[in-house]
Amino acid sequence: MKHMDEKVISMLIEAEAKRNPAASSSAGTGQTDRADLSKLLVEIEGEKVMFHEQELLDGRVRITMPRSLRPMTRQEALVKYPSERRPAIIFTNDGLSINLTFNHTANVLDEADVEEFKDAMVQITRSTQPIREWIGDGVQQAEEKTFGYCEFMSPALNTNIYNLMIFASLDKRFLICTFNCIEEDKKAWRPVALAMLDSLRVHETAEGGGAQ
């Protein structure tokens, strides 16, 4: 499979070069706020990374994410997230330094209350967490769904952690998606994380219903 991925990457690089021969190898290294995930290849820290659309929670959640992120093993999760409230779904890289998580909680959250809920989560996070830097927060719309988000830096052993938290309502319950990476990777990965936020899609089941 790895050999096949390398062949696909090589073909995609060649095709991209033919479409845009004047593009330099350093294009897309942070001059825009968000990475372009419309292509199958994104350059991150000088390396071509393949992306794909991942379906989660029985197809109710879709997100464009790197193929290089894999499900975290149970043993890794026990070390990385010692709390019993660890996320239900965790993707990570081999170094465990890039993480993408999803948790569909039992907490009730109606679509109309997402922005207010985001404001409450921001207040709780800022008052209870040791924040190194608050980057910002807001809401955005996609396919008639509201997504709240916040970004901040938090301390960790020998480094700081960049965090992007995304809030949404799925079947009238709170869905949280988080991305985090170490500070050294923030410059390269923050545009990717924001683009993944833009790609996130949530679809209600018939029983759960959408916003009324």
* Residue 130, in any domain of the structure: yes
pLDDT at position 20: 45
* Residue 35, in any domain of the structure: no
pTM exceeds 0.85, yes or no: no
* Residue 94, in any domain of the structure: yes
Q: pLDDT tens for residues 43-71?
A: 999 899 999 999 999 999 999 999 999 99
List the strands of the sheet with 98-108, edge to edge. Answer: 70-71, 89-92, 98-108, 173-182, 159-170, 145-156, 133-142
Identify the domain containing residue 93 by its residue range: 51-202
* Residue 197, in any domain of the structure: yes
* Residue 79, in any domain of the structure: yes
* pLDDT at position 40 over 90: no
* Residue 106, in any domain of the structure: yes
* Residue 30, in any domain of the structure: no
pLDDT at position 38: 86
Q: Looking at residues 151-178, what average pLDDT do you find?
A: 96
What type of residue sits at position 155? Answer: P
Structurally, how many domains does the chain consist of? 1
Q: pLDDT tens for residues 107-159?
A: 999 999 999 999 999 999 999 989 999 999 999 999 889 999 999 999 998 99
* Residue 38, in any domain of the structure: no
Specify the CATH number for the domain of residue 115. Answer: 3.40.1000.10
Q: Using CA atoms in the order 131, 150, 69, 97, what is the torsion angle rounded to 10 degrees?
A: -10
One-character DSSP codes across 106-137: EEE--GGGHHHHHHHHHHHHHHHS--SEEEEE
